[in-house]
Structure 1
Amino acid sequence: MLNRNRRYALVLLRLAVAALFLAPLLWAMGAALRPAGVPLAAPFLSVTPTLDSFARLFRVLPVGRFTLNSLRVVVLAVPLTLITASWAGYAMARLPRPSQRRWVLVSLLVLMVPAIALWPARFLVYSRLGLTDSIGALIAPAFMGSSPFFVLMFYRAFRRIPPAIYDAARIDGAGVLETWRRVALPIARPTAFAVAILTFIFYWGDFLSPLLYLSDARDYTLPVGLELLEQLGRTDYSLLMAGALWATLLPVVLIVVIVSTMALKERQNPQKEQNS
């Protein structure tokens, strides 16, 4: 009986935390469903919900083009980040301990550098390489792991793998890349999922890079499109919230799918162990 009460209390606590995080999203949804011109102070039950704001959203701006541009960026940047960050983290984890400490310190120092300090140098480099006004300027950080934080996440995951597993793979004739692909990366799958989600959110919500490196409005991504939407009407709250919901929809769906998949796999693994 006591265990059942604890289980119910835990479920209620989880629901309360989920409601706390979902409250802003639900408020934005309620604001987006209001007719144009209805103030936010009016009770939601006193107005008739409508999808007119979403229809107007696609009429006033090429939101579909902006969304496709953002999707192109994340489709290229996420796999590149997973490869480069995991390579760097794996290389750090296989170094001797003194070298590991030095590279971890270097990664932390780079992580503390303000992003604004890198913009002038990046703009000059991208201009010399001819990457401005192209998607290459937006995904260029992915070739370097996107962030030292992602490298440190993989380093921590690979460092926790017992050295005997690496030695066994080496005795079996596996090379460095094969050990990374067949041994280290499958064990660090939860870390890879977390880095993929963080990378997706990082590039999906990137506002400054398209604004700095792109001059053609047809190449703008969704965050820049939302800024244009705000300039069109700062007091049209239903239209602004419709744009915000459209930009939030894909990340939320992605996170729900990934978390559900991981939870399903965790449930299936104990069952397989019991059956075996």
Structure 2
Amino acid sequence: MPTTSRARARRPWWAAGVAVLSVVFLAPLVIMVLGSLQRPLQPPPDGLDLWPDPAEWSNYASVPAFLPLWPMVLNSLLLVVVAVPVTVVVASLAGYATATARGAARPLLIGASVVMLLVPAAALWVPRVVLLRGLGLADTPLTVALLSLAGTTPFYVLLFALACARVPGSLLEAAALEGMSPFAVWWRVALPLTRPAVVAVAALSGLFYWSTFMDPLTLVSSPAHWPVALGLRGLAEMEVALYPIYLAAAVVVTAPALLAFAVGQRSFFATAVRS
């Protein structure tokens, strides 16, 4: 009973904390939406304009005149559809191998992943360009998706290693004694039991490939192959008086990422509760 009473007493504080964090994180999105409804080629409003009067919904229709939005959106969708499943498979396999390694191999693999995670991303840009150009794989719509062949980032490998380490070893050993191959144990036993990690990595990698612009900037030179995040970054250089159109494009680009995050978050918590 005392534990239940303390839990009930904490609920108002928990709700207040969630409300404060929601305001902090939602405020930029609200400002972006309101800014997208301002009238272009006009001086900025004095003070805080809670709702533009009149609201210029035509800004959204004007975006394709400044940016080939929909071809770039298709490029980004293709990138996400290809890269996310490959990332999940590669990272989960590497994480499973790390978690089930024996002897000194396990800490060695974890240490190697941590070291690679500490390498600055900027240090890899030039080697990637040289390698992919040498292989003839640069400047294609799926060039950036090649990063998924390495699990995208060692962080995802470590996340899966932690998730697989929580799977009972006796269960994995029993599956192996039943004659299942290591690949079958990963696919039929470890992967279903690490569904929260699968959902989390899928959501995080999807957001990464949808929003990244530095990797396409260094690897993709043809504008016809640019993802939408790189195109939006170029649109940010337009005149300040046209920023409502830029913000309208930002809203269009941000909306699918928010929807994917909401779906992934709901699936993650639902899976966590079931497990």
User: Does TM-score exceed 0.5, indicating one fold?
Assistant: yes
Structure 2 partner of 1:274: none
Is the contact made by 1:69 and 1:222 (CA closer than 8 Å) also made in structure 2? yes
Runs of 4+ in 1 over 6 A off after TM superposition: none
Is the contact made by 1:31 and 1:40 (CA closer than 8 Å) also made in structure 2? no
Structure 2 partner of 1:201: 207
Structure 1 partner of 2:157: 151
CA–CA separation in structure 1 for the residues paired with 2:182 and 2:157: 18
Tell me the SS of whatever aligns to 1:236: helix
CA–CA separation in structure 2 for the residues paired with 1:97 and 1:247: 47
Q: How has the CA–CA distance of structure 1 residues 51 and 169 changed in structure 2, closer, same or farther, with 3 Å as cutoff?
A: same
CA–CA separation in structure 1 for the residues paired with 2:148 and 2:229: 19
Counterpart AA for 2:128 = R
CA–CA separation in structure 2 for the residues paired with 1:135 and 1:45: 39
CA–CA separation in structure 2 for the residues paired with 1:213 and 1:6: 50
Tell me the SS of whatever aligns to 1:75: helix
Per-residue deviation, 1:92: 1.0
Structure 2: gaps spanning 5 or more residues: none
| Superposition TM-score, scaled by structure 2 size | 0.90
CA–CA separation in structure 1 for the residues paired with 2:24 and 2:224: 37
Per-residue deviation, 1:5: 5.2
Matched, 1:127 2:133: yes
Matched, 1:253 2:263: no
Counterpart AA for 1:133 = D
Structure 1 partner of 2:192: 186
Structure 1: gaps spanning 5 or more residues: 271-276
CA–CA separation in structure 2 for the residues paired with 1:225 and 1:166: 47
Structure 2 partner of 1:13: 17
Which one of the candidate residues 33, 36, 60 is aligned to 1:32?
Answer: 36
Structure 1 partner of 2:117: 111
Tell me the SS of whatever aligns to 1:35: coil
Is the contact made by 2:86 and 2:151 (CA closer than 8 Å) also made in structure 1? yes
Point out the more displaced range, 36-45 or 206-215: 36-45
- Among the aligned pairs, what percent are the same residue? 30
Q: How has the CA–CA distance of structure 1 residues 169 and 68 changed in structure 2, closer, same or farther, with 3 Å as cutoff?
A: same
- Post-superposition Cα deviations, 1:83-134, rounded to whole Å, max 9, x if no partner, equal 0011111111111142111111111111111122212211111111111111
Tell me the SS of whatever aligns to 1:50: coil
Point out the more displaced range, 126-135 or 254-263: 254-263
Matched, 1:212 2:218: yes
- Post-superposition Cα deviations, 1:193-214, rounded to whole Å, max 9, x if no partner, equal 1111111121111112222222
| Superposition TM-score, scaled by structure 1 size | 0.90
Q: How has the CA–CA distance of structure 1 residues 199 and 40 changed in structure 2, closer, same or farther, with 3 Å as cutoff?
A: farther
- Post-superposition Cα deviations, 1:233-273, rounded to whole Å, max 9, x if no partner, equal 34422112112211211111011112223444566x49xxx
Is the contact made by 2:38 and 2:52 (CA closer than 8 Å) also made in structure 1? no
Is the contact made by 2:34 and 2:52 (CA closer than 8 Å) also made in structure 1? no
Structure 1 partner of 2:83: 77
Per-residue deviation, 1:177: 1.2
Paired residues, number = 269
CA–CA separation in structure 2 for the residues paired with 1:68 and 1:46: 31
Which one of the candidate residues 230, 239, 244 is aligned to 2:250?
Answer: 244
Q: How has the CA–CA distance of structure 1 residues 221 and 264 changed in structure 2, closer, same or farther, with 3 Å as cutoff?
A: same
